[in-house]
């Protein structure tokens, strides 16, 4: 089952990269209507100035928040984007950290890496690089990163504990975990198992979402401190509140996007 999910996710996002369209783009790869990538990104916190500052083709409308705006990046820092896609967050982060800073994007989809590298050339951004790899096995040295900024990606992994352990490994002491992700809130025992096992719902960033308290507990087990979630959007099934048609959920359960913060304790 896990292998099938990973293969389906990789296939879907390869198709998105090849078409340079969002999850909710014209090809409707996650089965929804077709708002533009710009509209989707604006709805989750990207400003018009943000979107105007990045190379054309970098915004695929795949995020569920804007971690760069919330991560308090500083000049000279080294930033890691797990599941970097077309590069939107890497390019925004590169401008924040400046020429003395560095941004690394990691993605498991070769098509995404190719697209992101093309976008970096178009933007003439010298302090960004993209590496092919899995977020469960990051091609990054121990303690090399100041800030990790995954955006709507950890929910796609079938081994989230491994992802969090890898994020902890590559962060420097005092490094920050600053993530936008999709989460459930409420009693997961009430969520139909048929939804949680649905491969399409995994690829659409729904079925793999963790419950908020579970997410925070896993962060603590991985070694992080000061873990917290700030709700940024609620997807309650209503069309105006959902990119990809959030499923109808039982009373007492809701699907959200949130900004997840944590810190690797200093030595």
Q: What is the pLDDT of residue 196?
A: 82
Of the ranges 7-16, 41-50, 139-148, 153-162, the best mean pLDDT one: 139-148
Three-class HEC string of the chain: CHHHHHHHHHHHHHHHHHHCCCCCCCCCCCCCCCCCHHHHHHHCCCCHHHHHCCCCCCCCCCCCCCHHHHCCCCCCCEEEEECCCCCHHHHHHHHHHCCCCEEEEEECCHHHHHHHHHHHHHHCCCCEEEEECECCECCCCCCCEEEECCECCHHHCCCHHHHHHHHHHHEEEEEEEEEEEEEEEECHHHCCHHHHCCHHHHHCCCCCCEEHHHHHHHHHHHCCEEEEEEEEEEECCCHHHCCCCCCCCCCCEEEEEEEEEEECCCC
* CA dihedral sign of residues 238, 243, 245, 248: negative
Q: What is the pLDDT of residue 259?
A: 94
Judge whether residue 242 has pLDDT over 60: no
Report the CATH architecture of 2-263: 3-Layer(aba) Sandwich (3.40)
As a whole-number percent, the residues of the chain with pLDDT over 90 amount to 53
Reported as a pLDDT band with limits 50, 70 and 90, residue 93 is very high
Judge whether residue 193 has pLDDT over 70: yes
Domain boundaries, the chain: 2-263
Mean pLDDT of the chain: 85
As a whole-number percent, the residues of the chain with pLDDT over 70 amount to 88
Summarize pLDDT for 196-216 with one digit per residue, the tens.
Answer: 877 777 777 887 899 999 999
Summarize pLDDT for 12-71 with one digit per residue, the tens.
Answer: 777 777 776 544 433 333 434 456 788 888 778 788 888 888 888 888 888 888 889 889
Q: What is the pLDDT of residue 236?
A: 63
Q: What is the pLDDT of residue 62?
A: 83
* Length, in residues, of the chain: 267
């Amino acid at each position: 089952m896990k292998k099938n999910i990973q293969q389906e996710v990789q296939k879907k996002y390869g198709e998105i990269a090849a078409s340079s369209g969002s999850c909710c783009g014209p090809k409707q790869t996650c089965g929804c209507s077709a708002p533009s990538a710009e509209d989707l990104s604006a709805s989750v916190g990207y400003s018009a100035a943000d979107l105007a500052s990045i190379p054309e083709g970098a915004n695929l409308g795949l995020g569920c928040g804007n971690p760069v705006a919330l991560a308090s990046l500083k000049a000279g820092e080294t930033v890691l984007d797990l599941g970097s896609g077309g590069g939107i967050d890497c390019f925004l982060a590169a401008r924040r950290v400046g020429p003395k800073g560095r941004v690394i994007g990691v993605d498991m989809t070769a098509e995404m890496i190719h697209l992101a590298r093309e976008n970096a050339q178009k933007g003439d951004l010298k302090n960004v690089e993209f590496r092919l790899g899995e977020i469960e096995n990051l091609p990054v040295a121990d303690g090399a990163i100041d800030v990790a900024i995954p955006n709507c990606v950890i929910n796609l992994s079938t081994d989230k504990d491994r992802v969090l352990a890898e994020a902890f490994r590559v962060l420097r002491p005092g490094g920050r975990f600053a993530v936008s992700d999709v989460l459930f809130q409420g009693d997961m025992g009430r969520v139909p198992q048929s939804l949680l096992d649905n491969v399409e719902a995994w690829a659409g960033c729904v079925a793999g979402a963790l419950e908020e308290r579970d997410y925070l507990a896993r962060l603590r087990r991985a070694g992080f401190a000061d873990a917290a979630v700030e709700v940024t959007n609620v997807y309650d099934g209503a069309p105006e509140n959902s990119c990809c048609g959030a499923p109808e959920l039982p009373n007492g359960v809701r699907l959200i996007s949130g900004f997840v913060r944590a810190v690797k304790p200093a030595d």
